[in-house]
Amino acid sequence: MSTKTPQAVAETLQKAAEKGNAKAQYGLGLLYASGQGVKQSSRMAMVWYRKAAEQGHAGAQCVLGTKYATGQGVAQDAKKALNWYLKAANQGDVRAQCYLGVLFDEGVLIERDALQAEYWLSQAAETGDAEAQLQLGRHYDRSGNFMAITWYRRAAEQGVGEAQAMLGNRYATGDGVEQDWQEAFEWFLKAAEQGNLNAQWNLGLIYAEGRGGEVDIEEALYWLMRAAKHGYAPAQASLGMIYANGRGVPQDGKKALFLWRKAAEKGDGEAQHNIGYLFASGTDVTQDPVEALRWYRLAAENGVAEAQVKVGLACVQDGVAVPGLIEAYMWFSIAATAGSEAGRANSAHAETLMTPEQIVEGQQRVSDWLAAFRVKRGSLAAA
């Protein structure tokens, strides 16, 4: 039984496509896109995709939607992307339904519409599509809906690494489920073995801290190093702490600083705070209070409560001038919202030195900062 060569397949599709067969037109577009049996040509791929899409081929319509959404080979056009995705989605194309849901959920190319996002993602997820199940979980997560964990679990059980890592995080923190370190470990392990960097980092922490079992620094180092070598900032920061403390490795302050700088450059707040401490104390670097405060401020802006308290204290170290006092109050109060006892105590003390008007201004600054931080954190999570 002979097998057709790619060239022969292309010739057969070409003949059928020229006669108006939509399925063949779509297939020929795929061949031109990949260069199988024909000379690769993104332009010709678009020609045949469009011909098939205009005849109602859902797969081709979905491809055109993606092209216009991403600007691949065409000018990015949100209206055209939405139009083609809708045509395909209304025919039951699962990929188009999922992409359309994400488009409405992200609200980048088009105005965000949570109801439309939920509808289209649900349509795709109910067919058993794992990617749509993950995206529906994310959608519910944005609003704190308890259904998020249901869809994460469905995607995780189909082997989606990101969903497995999400479940691991839920069990580790007790968010929406009873805290269970063994369950967290099992889901992190599944995701980590697939290369999920967040899961590898969390698995390293579980071994380093002995969560649900005994401390195993060798395993902790294995998983932290795996994530760190791929540039995952939290793992680099945690690995730096292990070198700083000499746990399972020779104590090495220079290596710790190197790793923290790598993580800090990517915006890791814990690493920025640790570097601030080195400059404040003169550990392994020349003591420099100004440089220490610079790093503490960066960490504070990235949500590290301990750094926020230190920045607050720095604002009033030369007295209680009004501008500094209001800023100090802001940082103490922000730290307090994260559960910092030092933040709460210092915030309460600062209030005794402030007028009611100053307290109102400080509270408004806190609200503004927290709102901006939630947006920032949401953007990072989506990325």
Q: What is the pLDDT of residues 156-211, one digit of tens each?
A: 999 999 999 999 999 999 999 999 999 999 999 999 999 999 999 999 999 999 99
Cα pseudo-dihedral 368, 373, 375, 378, rounded to 10: -160
pLDDT at residue 376 in the model? 82
Rounded-to-integer distance, Cα 291 and Cα 257, Å: 14
Measured on CA atoms in the order 260, 264, 270, 275, is the torsion positive or negative? positive
Angle at 129 between CA 125 and CA 134, to 5 degrees: 65
pLDDT at residue 67 in the model? 97
Rounded-to-integer distance, Cα 326 and Cα 187, Å: 45
373, with CB counted inside 10 A (0-12, 13-18, 19+), is middle
The one-letter code for the residue type at 314 is A
pLDDT at residue 322 in the model? 53
pLDDT at residue 212 in the model? 82
pLDDT at residue 213 in the model? 86
Give the pair of three-digit tokens for residue 112. 């965000």
Rounded-to-integer distance, Cα 177 and Cα 179, Å: 6
Give the pair of three-digit tokens for residue 275. 């570097």
pLDDT at residue 231 in the model? 97
Closest to 339 (Cα-Cα) out of 303, 382, 295, 305: 305
pLDDT at residue 320 in the model? 46
* φ, ψ of residue 318 in degrees (nearest 5): -105, 20
DSSP symbol at 38 = S
Give the pair of three-digit tokens for residue 285. 């670097």
Rounded-to-integer distance, Cα 64 and Cα 26, Å: 11
201, with CB counted inside 10 A (0-12, 13-18, 19+), is buried
* φ, ψ of residue 194 in degrees (nearest 5): -90, 0
Count CB neighbours of 144 within 10 A: 9
Q: Give 314-355 pLDDT, tens digit per residue.
A: 998 865 445 689 999 999 999 999 999 999 999 999 999 999
The DSSP string of 90-137 is: TTT-HHHHHHHHHHHHH-SSS---HHHHHHHHHHHHTTT-HHHHHHHH
pLDDT at residue 143 in the model? 86
pLDDT at residue 368 in the model? 96
Rounded-to-integer distance, Cα 363 and Cα 358, Å: 9
Q: Are 225 and 236 in contact (CB under 8 A)?
A: no
Rounded-to-integer distance, Cα 277 and Cα 210, Å: 26
Closest to 49 (Cα-Cα) out of 78, 82, 77, 72: 72
Rounded-to-integer distance, Cα 314 and Cα 300, Å: 12
pLDDT at residue 1 in the model? 46
Tens digit of pLDDT at every position of the chain (383 positions):
457 899 999 999 999 999 999 999 999 999 999 999 999 999 999 999 999 999 999 999 999 999 999 999 899 999 999 999 999 999 999 999 999 999 999 999 999 999 999 999 999 999 999 999 999 999 999 888 899 999 999 999 999 999 999 999 999 999 999 999 999 999 999 999 999 999 999 999 999 999 988 999 999 999 999 999 999 999 999 999 999 999 999 999 999 999 999 999 999 999 999 999 999 999 989 999 999 999 999 999 999 999 999 999 999 886 544 568 999 999 999 999 999 999 999 999 999 999 999 999 999 999 999 999 988 876 555 54
Count CB neighbours of 105 within 10 A: 22
Give the pair of three-digit tokens for residue 232. 């995952």
